[in-house]
Amino acid sequence: MLATSFVSTLIRATNGIQSRPAPAKPEQLLQLYDIENCPYCRLVREALTELDLDVLILPCPKNGERFRPELVERGGRAQFPYLVDPNTGVEMYESLDIVNYLFETYGAGKRPLKWKLGGLQTFGSMLASAPRISKGMQARTGALPAELLELYSFESSPYARLVREELCALEIPYIVRNCGRTMASEWLLPPVRNAFSITPDSELENRRNLQAREGRLSIPYLMDPNTDSGLFESADILNHLQVHYGQ
Ligand SMILES: N[C@@H](CCC(=O)N[C@@H](CS)C(=O)NCC(=O)O)C(=O)O
């Protein structure tokens, strides 16, 4: 299961990993009606990681009953992704329009060249969806947590993807605390870092907060205020979701 997630990550090369933090962070959380393995939604999530913007994910798997009907009422049709920016009042469909909007509104300087080649990005994202076809696509609606879960994640993490797919299938809304990379040492896997006592001093607030909270940093990390728990390790997080929110 993990192997195909690595393939998706490799296909997207460096996309959705490296961050250049937005100079002007939005005060209120952005919201995204999203399907985890949708190639169009992935592009938006990649841009969010690259701009280091947090987002409230509203999962809309096939046959979903929680946020799909809500979007149809709100935007007029069931098409994903759909961005809501409560800071500006903007709401929009169309992945590449959303990416442009995010860079124009929150980016530093020009939109990177790769995003000007939008069609190419869409094609690459479609290839990346293929190895995970049907993963997290069908609703298996779980219990709705009273308080929002928070997932420390970056878009292209193969481990975080497994967790996001499950949250999507369960239709559990969650906040993504984006934790892209800004330093070479962050590319070292946690065990290697630990072996050589390397602690990257990231400029990203989410990474700094997680390091301060737990004394170490590894992605994904799930914070569940409902059970007062913080979990590393995708397998442990998946188990936690099943035990507390699964059918
Ligand atoms: N041109 C749109 C295409 C979006 C699109 O076709 N999304 C698919 C999901 S991958 C969708 O909304 N399908 C309808 C559904 O899932 O019910 C974009 O780039 O945002």
CATH of the domain at 237: 3.40.30.10
pLDDT in tens, 34-73: 999 999 999 999 999 999 999 999 999 999 999 999 999 9
Closest ligand 1 atom to Cα of 96: 19
Ligand 1 site, residue 29, Cβ cutoff 6 A: no
| In-domain check, residue 62 | yes
Q: How far is the CA of 45 from the centre of ligand 1 (A)?
A: 14
DSSP 3-state of 38: coil
| Residue 109 in this model has a pLDDT that exceeds 80 | no
DSSP state of 35: -
Total length of the chain = 247
| In-domain check, residue 208 | no
Distance CA 24, CA 15 (A): 22
Q: Which residues pair with 57 in a beta bridge?
A: 32, 174
- Tokens 């709100």 -> residue: 74
Ligand 1 site, residue 149, Cβ cutoff 6 A: no
Question: Residue 58 is part of which domain span?
Answer: 2-183+216-245
Total domain count, the chain: 1
Ligand 1 site, residue 95, Cβ cutoff 6 A: yes
| Contacts of residue 21, Cβ cutoff 8 Å, sequence gap at least 6 | 51, 52, 182, 203, 204
Q: How far is the CA of 68 from the centre of ligand 1 (A)?
A: 12
| In-domain check, residue 138 | yes
Do 219 and 159 touch, CB atoms closer than 8 A?
yes
Beta strand pairing call for 30-34 and 82-85: antiparallel
| In-domain check, residue 196 | no
| In-domain check, residue 164 | yes
* Better pLDDT: 200 or 242: 242
pLDDT in tens, 178-206: 999 998 888 888 788 888 888 888 889 99
* Percentage of the chain exceeding pLDDT 70: 100
Question: Which residue's CA is the closest to the ligand 1 atom numbered 10?
Answer: 38
| Contacts of residue 97, Cβ cutoff 8 Å, sequence gap at least 6 | none
Pocket test for ligand 1, best of 36, 40, 94 (most atoms within 8 A of CB): 40
User: Residue range 123-145: average pLDDT?
Assistant: 96
| In-domain check, residue 190 | no
Q: Would you give the distance in Å from CA 45 to the centre of its chain?
A: 6
Q: Would you give the distance in Å from CA 156 to the centre of its chain?
A: 8
| In-domain check, residue 199 | no
Ligand 1 site, residue 118, Cβ cutoff 6 A: no
3-state secondary structure 107-135: CCCCCCHHHHCHHHHHHHHHHHHHHHCCC
Closest ligand 1 atom to Cα of 68: 17
Ligand 1 site, residue 154, Cβ cutoff 6 A: no
Ligand 1 site, residue 17, Cβ cutoff 6 A: no
* Better pLDDT: 193 or 101: 101
- Tokens 């330093």 -> residue: 183
State residue 108's pLDDT score: 82
Pocket test for ligand 1, best of 44, 79, 97 (most atoms within 8 A of CB): 79
Ligand 1 site, residue 79, Cβ cutoff 6 A: yes
Backbone phi, psi, residue 122, to 5°:
-60, -45
State residue 74's pLDDT score: 97
User: Residue range 211-229: average pLDDT?
Assistant: 96
pLDDT in tens, 16-34: 999 988 888 999 999 999 9
Q: How far is the CA of 125 from the centre of ligand 1 (A)?
A: 13
State residue 237's pLDDT score: 98
* Better pLDDT: 113 or 228: 228
| In-domain check, residue 178 | yes
Ligand 1 site, residue 94, Cβ cutoff 6 A: yes
State residue 190's pLDDT score: 79
Ligand 1 site, residue 78, Cβ cutoff 6 A: yes
Looking from the CA of 170 toward its CB, the CA atoms found within 13 Å total 24
